[in-house]
Structure formats: C-alpha cells, structure tokens
Amino acid sequence: MKYWLMKSEPEAFSIDDLERVGREPWSGVRNYLARNFMRQMAVGDGVLFYHSNTKVPGVVGVAEVASDAYPDPTQFQKKSDYYDPKATREEPRWQLVDVIFKRKLSRIISLEELRAAGEQLDGLELLRRGSRLSVMPVNAAHWKTILSLE
C-alpha cells in the first residue's frame, strides 16, 4: 500500500463534496509529474485530502484510491476548462483515478502546523519550497506523523 496527498481548492471540490458524493474521479490534473504519480496509484492506497488556496490551507480528510488510472474524459471535451486539443482517444495524454471518501479529520492540520513539525516531516514534497504539485507521494512515516497531529 502507498500513500498520497491530493490537493483541491475547496471552492472547486471540497472534502464535504467528496463526503456527499462518496466517490469521484480526480479529473483536471494537467501536470505531467502529478499525472505520472496517479499512474502509480493502486486501489486501496491512502490519500490525504488537502484544501489549497484557502484562508487556512491544510489536510482536512482521508480518502482512498478506488480505481486504477484511466483516461481523463475532460481532455476530450471542447467546452471543458481541461480540454487538450493534442489528446486523442487513441493516445490520451491525461489520466485520473477515482477516490472514495473515508473520513473528515476532527480539525484542519494546517500547512503552518506541518511546517512546524520539523524533522518528522523532512522530505515531504508538500513542504519543499516552490512545490505546486496537486498530487504527490507521502511515505508511510509522514502519513503516520500527519495523522498523529489530529
């Protein structure tokens, strides 16, 4: 089993939205490294759900990977913000996975709090200066540390 952190702006799609729908395709990722990480995901992998671009960014819930990677249909939809004219059904460029809701955290574990954890979270991609990835791996020790902060 692997662990991941997936970011979403709460105005676009929040942990409350995932709780309401139960299962959702994680569409719209348009960064090759983030896409490649999704290709490595397996059903049952753990996901830290992170709210970004908000007053208090941070980890707000836990989800689980519910499918293997498959082509993101938004790349083919001309009216979509995520349309990619270079993508074809024969050679799709973008992938996604479905995620399922597991639980909301009892409180937000803020980015500030994660940074304050010090050595326990050394090497966590989220804390790397300039990191803007929306999907990133989290090692097992970081996963346990982050959830222990709850």
> What are the residue ranges spanned by the domains of the chain?
3-148
pLDDT of 123:
95
pLDDT of 130:
84
Query: 3-class DSSP state for residue 122?
Result: coil
What's the CATH number of domain 3-148, 3.10.590.10, 2.40.50.140, 3.40.640.10, 3.30.70.141?
A: 3.10.590.10
pLDDT of 96:
98
Residue 148 structure tokens? 């222990």
pLDDT of 129:
87
pTM over 0.85: yes
Residue 95 structure tokens? 């992938």
Question: For tokens 């995901």, what's the residue?
Answer: 41
Residue 119: count of CB within 10 angstroms of its CB: 6
Rounded CA gap, 125 and 121, in Å?
9
pLDDT of 74:
97
Which stretches of the chain drop beneath a pLDDT of 70?
A: none
- What is the distance of C-alpha 26 from the center of its chain? 8
Do 50 and 58 form a contact (C-beta atoms < 8 A)?
Answer: yes
pLDDT of 126:
96
pLDDT of 131:
84
